[in-house]
Structure 1
Amino acid sequence: MYAKHEKIPMKDFGSEIRATMDIDHLLNKAVLLLDLQETSMEEIFAKIIHEMDIQEPEFTSEQVRSVLFTQDSGNQFHILSRTVQSICTTGTVGGTYDYDQSWICALCMLNTVQHRHVAIARLSHPTNLGRTMQDLRFIIIVIAPSRAKGTKTALETTRTFATLFADMDIRQRLVMAQTVDQFRSTLLSAAKELAIDQNQWRERKTSIHFSQAKEQLFGPGKWYLFRGLSNDFFRRIKYYSSDYLDGLRGSKTIQKLFSSIVFLYFACLLPAIAFGVLNDDNTNGSINVRKVITAQALGGIFFAIFGGQPMIILLTTVPLAIYIKGELGYDFFAMYACVGLWCQFFLILYASTDMCSLMKLATRSAEEMFSLFIAIAFTVESMRALHI
């Protein structure tokens, strides 16, 4: 006998509106049988299928048995072809699990039916019907058309009812139901309560994820304006003097300091000269090499003193050199000053709100896209110069 096991997820009544609609629609015409006295699988399923046959003329009992049970050369085995049950893990080693043997959903598809049909039976006492059904109390049968929408198949409908019966509290309430109407109303109210619980759980999960993401980005503790700036200040103030004095202590520190100065001098000077020439040409002399070197030197000194550490290197970048142009007839220095003031405003805004913490989310792709932009921009500028 070949058997295939597959794990399927439970229905989310909070986000899947179809689940609640199916419960409301199918329960109104479902066959509900309470406290069956039969004790064998043949008698129990014959009773349920007979009641469905009486209520629904779209199929016969023989047709349902032929697809509900496993067959071989026309002989039926007392084994259900397709079933759904809940499981629980019994250990972490080997992935072992155990069945919830108090209920079972049997599903099948028929070509002769046009609509879905559901039957639910509650046995009068727990009954042993074989493997994985040794303590059975509830039996659900779902019959669906062979050709149905993806949300109305036999498996999807079975998932809807299986999600309800997988809840121990709901099963206990169904055991206590005295009448068919009370049984039906219990299932309807349980579906609505489950939708509310799942929505609340999703909201709590979202809130927890948001709190964790906020703590990961901005750190623990209460947030307030300039929190990151003040934390940086108090964290670095005790090392401020050593940042300068450590470069003068030791036998070989002067040699290392001098070599670093020479290296950084040319590393900063050569790009300043190159971009200064480009700015001189684009701005008609408003910004030349001398001004670029002077501005870069003053900015570097200011940042070295007030930036928290002396190793802050300022360079004129390619995008700035490309976009700085004297065009459209505006006063260049006035427009350039406005751009600087707006940059200063955004920098203060970012520093006061800890927006710089978002840089933790930046990956190497941002650097690669920036490099690609520089390459394309200079290629376009060179092609434009050749065309002219």
Structure 2
Amino acid sequence: MKHIWINAGELSGDMQAAALLSALREREPDLRATGMGGPNLARAGQKNLFRVEALSVMGIAEVLTALPRALRMLARIKEELAALRPDAVVLVDAPEFNFRVAKIAHGLGIPVYYFIPPKIWAWRTGRVRFLHRHVRRLFCILPFEPDFYARYGVAVDYVGNPLVDMVQWPELETLSPVSGRIGLMPGSRRKEVESLLPRFGEAARLLLRQGRDVRFHCLRAPNMTEEKLRSLWPADVPLVFEQPEDRYAAMRRCECLLAASGTATLEAALAGVPTIVAYRVAPLSALVGRLLIKVKWVSLPNLIMGREVFPELLQDQASGDALAAQLGAWLDKPAQLAAVRAATDDIRRRCGEPGSAGRAAEKLLAAMEGA
């Protein structure tokens, strides 16, 4: 009976790792899974010895403040890996933490695989040497990644994107956007929500003061309570909350979205919803990012297309005034919204056919057999 350790360091990774685990157990019903994850991995059958929520931080400065807690967790993970000695460790995204798990597992002689490897093509490309040394194989979900890793001699497979299965476009395509409905996706990390949602609220108030017929729907992350979100929203601006379980249908019913940069932007693209991307981090994190980031855009839809399909408003640009201005421009020019929707069709095509989790599971099991 195979035993794997799955280490998901973020809630978005927990969701995608759960799809992989479900596909693995379809092929190997007796497979055991232990590790670090959240509610999705738990539902898929993993015994979570460590909770992903304990590590959800953003930016360089924020990671530093969480460092003592992370180091304690790493020490405990090393103890568990040494005791359990699983057949493989599967890492999911979250490089700042998972690189250390990779080093621990490699040092213990446990094969390491990476599902959804880190975006080192964007910054700190030198870390590809670490992956070459410590990780046996990468399973990529973005179409431009294999060429990058192959240039450095890293064993890599492109399996398509798990979100294609999760978003389920054939069902969503039958839903029509509601005129004037604006969706809000402020993120899943506490600090990013605290930074972005008040700005979204400022933009909403400005649009209403302009006399526009708009309504705002917040698609909350599972770990964010309605009470917490309401505390960050203007009391004089009406807000409807959508439940996490129906997030894709809720997205699709929006004419457009305001979203934190991250997985949500690709979900929105696959659901065919024009989206304005916003993000704010601590000044130190922003400074480091400006010095090190090597790509033109931060959002996945723009990176996949190689051009700005979704407007990106970052740092000081992510203000209520700027967000309201961009939303107003879209609402005043339906042809612009239609052009963005048309571009999302191309993004969906480039992300591959459904079944990526199954392809990743088959390639992972094959790699484990050949180890």
Question: TM-score, normalized by length of structure 2?
Answer: 0.23
The structure that is helix-richer by fraction is 1
Q: Which has the larger radius of gyration?
A: 1
Question: TM-score, normalized by length of structure 1?
Answer: 0.22
Query: Which structure exhibits the higher relative contact order, with contacts defined as CA atoms closer than 8 Å and separated by 6 or more residues?
Result: 2
